Amino acid sequence: MPLPGLLSAITTALPFDLPFQLTAETLLVLALYTALAGAYLVVVPLALYWWLVKRWNVMGKIERTAIYGLVFLFFPGLILFAPFINLRMAGPGSARA
Q: In whole angstroms, what is the distance from residue 18 CA to residue 6 CA?
A: 17
Confidence of residue 18 (pLDDT cuts 50, 70, 90): low
CB 40 within 8 A of CB 74: yes
Q: Please report the pLDDT score of residue 58 as a whole number.
A: 93
The model's pLDDT over 68-90, given as tens digits with 9 standing for 90+, comes to 999 999 999 999 998 888 777 76
* pTM of the complete model: 0.68
